[in-house]
Structure 1
Amino acid sequence: MSKFVVAQFDYEKWHPLTDLPINKESPSAKTKDVVANENKPDNSVTVIKSSNSDIKHPFDSLSDAKTLLYHLIIKPGLSIREIMKELNFSGSAIEKAKHELVTRGLIIESRAGRKKRPIPKKEAFDYFGILCPYLDPDLTEHSFYAHVLGLTLKKNTSCKKVSLEYKLSNSGNASDVVTQDINGNLYAFEITDSISNIAQNCLKYDNTAFTKITFVCRNDDILKAVKSKVINAGLPLQLLGKLDFVLLDSILKATKK
């Protein structure tokens, strides 16, 4: 086990610098355009406070499971193979640690593309006394990918602001992730698991100020199905020209850099 990783457990409470503001303001009723919230500070983020004084500590002080859990929190989005390499864990050690975390209800496993990714649940953040960055802890998988997507997009030097659950109107419609570049252009990203309600998800962006709307799909089959459904949905040509489709796995690779 790396001494560097072990040493991190001796720190005081660590707080992830997610720096992802959530825009909860609605645009003016006089326009259908989405307006970026310039008055909201960049470090505003919806979190759920936790205290490990209320959590039953289930691990030995230096167990592999505890090391793995902490690594999943501080480096979200890595695959099992990538984590094995970083922690210098054997295949049997990582599987045993992962099994313990799943059994204790601290992580779930999710597949994006060909890779399985262990996802820490809210209880995992609670254990370390770390603020959970998920907007909806009950929707762990979706919230996790929105969180990781936001962190990844934030690395782009042309990105001025990243917002999660960006409200589009008073109707309750929202974008999973929205970025604004240095020129004020808005880009929306929708995490997409199926073709369900895909046409409605497209139409909510009709007559808005977004430069591009990207549907981020979990695998190739979903991407092809979504793209085919959208093309044949009879959407306005102006809106159709703004739509794009990418694989989630291709974006998550950027988290390693």
Structure 2
Amino acid sequence: MTLADTAAELRRLHTDPELLQVVNVWDVVSARAVAALPGTRAIATASQSIAAAFGYPDGERIPVDLMLDMAGRIARAVEVPVSADLEAGYGDPGETIRRAVGEGIVGANLEDELKPLDESVAAVAAAVAAAEAEGVPFALNARTDAFLRGRDRPRDVWVADAIERGRAYLDAGATCVFVPGDFGEDVVAELVSGIGERRVSLIGLPHIPAPARLGELGVARLSYGPYSQRVVLGALQDLASDLYAGGVLPAGLRPLN
């Protein structure tokens, strides 16, 4: 498949009747482990997890070159489409997306950081135009922080803001709208009704409905952000504690590295 074919497949997966679940990875070995599973149709990176792997805090503190290099290594190591979490675009969303396409990335998250709507729409449009100039039907997952940065506002206010922003991002060429937050089915239904079926992307958190229900509600995509890495690191810490306490390695270890 060409890069354009791979990109088109990722966009198709967002509109497929079946919910697209992507388990976030942070390096080549984690990507290969997830890609080897028969249920994996696409992979997404987690910016916070990649930054942590290099010793940087979240929030565009990692050099963009390091982030793009790792995303490219992941894309070249697996045969499924890869979407990269590229935060807010590292100061130049269009150029960052152009470089990401050059690394084999066919989709990305792009945060609005709840900046003024016109600025955020311009960033989405620049990202979409950059990918189009490279001949790639890029799957842009335009993220709004309407909940994360505005959850002190009444529910109706931040939901309306998310819907307004989401519609504007779709009009600017985004594939779907990522609304991270820990909220229940009633809010999910409002977002889907306001933004559109198979146009809303969510993150798996305790109050988010189960994947099967999200599919019924018309959600396009479910990802897990830095939490997959936290599970792995927690398991590593537990293993180390067991070994320090006199334990032994468990039997039946899978040779995944």
TM-score surpassing 0.5?
Answer: no
TM-score (norm 1): 0.30
Bigger proportion of residues as strand: 1
The structure that is helix-richer by fraction is 2
Larger CA Rg, structure 1 vs 2? 1
Provide TM-score, normalisation by structure 2.
0.30
